[in-house]
Each structure stands twice: as structure tokens, then as C-alpha cells.
Amino acid sequence: MDILHTDLLVIGFGKGGKTLAAAMGRSGKRVAMVEQSALLYGGTCINIACVPTKALIHRASQRPDDADPSAWYEASVASTDAMTATMRDKNFRMLDTLDTVTVVTGTASFLDDRRVEVVAGEDRLEITAETIVINTGAEPVVPDVRGLRESAYLVTNADLVRSPTMPRRVAVIGGGYQGLEFAALLSRYNVPVTVLESSDRILRREDDDIAQAAEAILREDGINFVTGARVTEVVDGDGVATVTYRTHEGQEGTIEAEAVLVGTGRSPRTAELRLEAAGVSTDNRGAIEVDEYLRTSRPHIYAVGDVNGGPQFTYISLDDYRVVADQIMDTGKGTRTTTDRVAVPYTLFMTPPLGRVGMTEKEARAAGRSVRIAAKDVAALMAMPRASIVGDTRGMMKFVVDAETDEILGAALLSIDSQELINTVALAMRTGLTASRLRDGIWTHPSSTEAFNEVLADVVR
């Protein structure tokens, strides 16, 4: 077996890992990047998650009224595939063109805490490293439902974004962020979608008013919801799967679908790594345990991105890179930690999108904070003509404000451009800008940001 000696070994081509590999390679260190599939160079985000899904949503918005949805879907997938292939190649060349970096395609598993074996068919390579970074991401959780795992109609997000064939009917198991984003995407192509959610309502982590507003928009777009429903069985038939569910009241129902999409979350991908050989500990969810410096139970082994059980966002993986780089690069000071993160925003890319940051009203009150609320429907906003200009005045904006200090505790923006607006709110929260200062900001016109002038003018309750 050939042996490759390195300063740094990165397992997984995700955002944090690839950025660290490039930085270390440019500094002159010997680096190996291992990725199990050439189709995942660059990571999950650009290949099967963030980028292709948003591209398909954008393409749907461009479909002429007289265009066949199925043909448009096929063309959209082809266009998206071409775009991700280009990005994948750029990511590969970003590392491969560095003389100090070796990209290896194959499945990695630990031999001990310093050695990793990479297997690709009959080929085997042993890699030794002073520092190892695990960046293997997460994979969809398939719930333990009779017949589901064996169903020919079970699909994941990766299957959907790569298949040019538009399913005619889709059942989505799970009314959380992942399930709803795909439900919203498919509805833009006129695909009938039914979302089955075990809780009494969708988006159970959000305030009731925000969740209700989001559900109303999604229903308007043709999505059907069955809440309080636990899926009990999936049975394959001729061209369709029959999904059986039972409500909290004990009533049984069925729906038929050509595709059954699981949207019940993602779990850290560690099964193939043989972490026990390296002495790397995991928690009861299978996530690699790390400290605030992202060190595992072996101090020279780090875990970044989804695999360490933190928030599953690409930008968190990028910040993980900053934390690790500060520990292992010659220019680092060793002071950066995950506790430095404040006001991390996120967005559900429905149409219009839902941007969120900080506490919900429910969380703030449960924490004993004295709060005031500023909330307004987008359709009622006089200071946001952009919504009327682009033809979508649906949604609402809501701020949670500390009644004593005027501190912004959180915000939920269900509106056009909220994927950008929420970053402004997050920045205000990080820098201590009060609700009044944000309210009195001078913003361009006509823009969506100027809605803050009006929404925050009436802070009540």
C-alpha cells in the first residue's frame, strides 16, 4: 500500500474543509483532501443542496404562463446541472492547482488517530497527518416507517435536484425547513404536494403568527397540509406509492404519490469513518463531540460543519474554518472559538422567503425577558413599495424588542428580499444597534430595507 505523509488531512470537500485546505496549501503546508465522490467536489451546498435548489426556484419564477411545467422542469434541471458542474470544476481546480495539495477520491476510514486508509475500488492509499479535519457533512434521516426504506418511490433532496423527470404527485414527510423548502420549490412547477407533519402545525420552532402566515402562503401556492399526522406505512403499487398516516385522534388516511420525500432532518455522516479506531467520541445523535475550538477527543483531530452537530448551514462551516485556522495556522492566535458567534441568521427559501435571527417572542418570554413586539403585514406597509413593484405583497415582518433596553432580541421577516434583510438585522444585533436606531436608519428608495422605518415605528405589547 502506498503511503502519503502530510501536515494536514481533510476528510470531506465541504465549505470549511476546502477553505482550510486551500489556506494551508497556499502557506506551503503539505495537504491531502479526501472526497468519496468526484460528484461532490466543492461539498453538498453547491452540488445537491443550497445552490441547485435556489437555482431551480429562480428558474421556476421565469417560466412563461404558456410553458409546459414538465418541459420547463427538465430544462431547469439541465441548466442547474451545467452550473453545478462548472462550480464543481472550479472547486477542484482551486485545490488541484496548488503544488502542496493532493486531492484523493475514495472512502476514508481511520486506522488509528494519525493514519487513515482511503479505498477506491481495488486501490488503497494510507495517509498520515499531523492534523486531521473531519468535514463529512450530514445525510437525510429516513424515519422508521414500515415499507419506507424499501420503497422504490423514496427520494432524497439529492435525487430530486438531479432527476430531470418531474414527479406528478409528491408526499413530503416533515413540515420543517427542509421539507417545506422542497414543497415550495415543487409547487412553483405546479406539482401537487402534500406535506405530512406529525406536530399540530408546521414550523413548530417559530411563533404561531409567523407559522400561520407561512402556511397560508404555501396553501395559496397549492400545497396541501395534513398536520398532527404520523406516517405508519408506505406500500408500493403500480406507478405510485400509497402513504398511510394516522392522526392524533386515531383516524387513518392515505395519499398516493409518485415520489415520497423525507424531510425529517439530517444526521452527521460518520458510519464509514471507523472513529473508534482513532478514539474520536460521538454523542447520542452520532455527532462528533467537539469543544469550543472544534477539537475532538483527540486534540489534533478537528470536526467542522454539519458532522459536529452544530447548526447545519454552509456559513457555519465557513466560520468553523476560521476557528480551526486560528488554532493550526502559523498566523493564528489560538483565541477564536465557537462562543464568539452572535445572532446567526437563517432563511427558509419559500416564496417569499422567511428570514429569521435571534429569539422568537415565545422564547424571549420564556426566558423572562420583558418584551415589546413590532409586527406588520407586508401588504399594509406604505414604506415598502418594492413589494408591490415586484408583485408579491404577502407575508409579515416581526421584531422582538427588549422593553427596557430597546435591544433587538430577534426578528422574523416573511417577505420578499428577506434573505438579504435578515443579514442587516443580524449585523445590528451583533453591533448593539437598538431598535430605535434601526427604525431611524436612512435607506435607499424604493427598497425593502426601508420597511424597517415603518415596522419599528409601532412597538407594542
Report, in this order, helix, strand and coil percent for the chain, each rounded to 5.
Answer: 35, 25, 40
Distances (CA, A) of 89 to 208, 238, 252, 344: 44, 40, 49, 30
Question: Which residue of the set 58, 248, 300, 445 is catalytic?
Answer: 445
DSSP state of 210: H
Euclidean distance between CA atoms 208 and 93, whole angstroms: 47
Euclidean distance between CA atoms 252 and 397, whole angstroms: 37
Cα of 438 vs its chain's centroid, Å: 28
Cα of 77 vs its chain's centroid, Å: 20
- How many C-beta neighbours within 10 Å does residue 108 have? 25
Residue 5: active-site member: no
**Strand-pair partners of 126:** 3, 117
Sheet holding 252-257, edge to edge: 229-236, 241-247, 252-257
Task: Decide the pairing of beta strands 170-173 and 193-197.
Answer: parallel
16 membership: H or E segment, kind and range: helix 15-26
Euclidean distance between CA atoms 312 and 44, whole angstroms: 11
Q: Where are the beta strands (DSSP E) in 221-305?
A: 223-227, 229-236, 241-247, 252-257, 259-262, 266-268, 301-303
Distances (CA, A) of 24 to 18, 21, 43, 127: 10, 5, 18, 17
283 membership: H or E segment, kind and range: none
Euclidean distance between CA atoms 190 and 183, whole angstroms: 11
DSSP state of 430: H
Sign of CA dihedral 240, 68, 185, 215: negative
- How many C-beta neighbours within 10 Å does residue 147 have? 18
Asked whether the beta carbons of 183 and 172 are under 8 A apart, the reply is: yes
Residues that are catalytic: 445
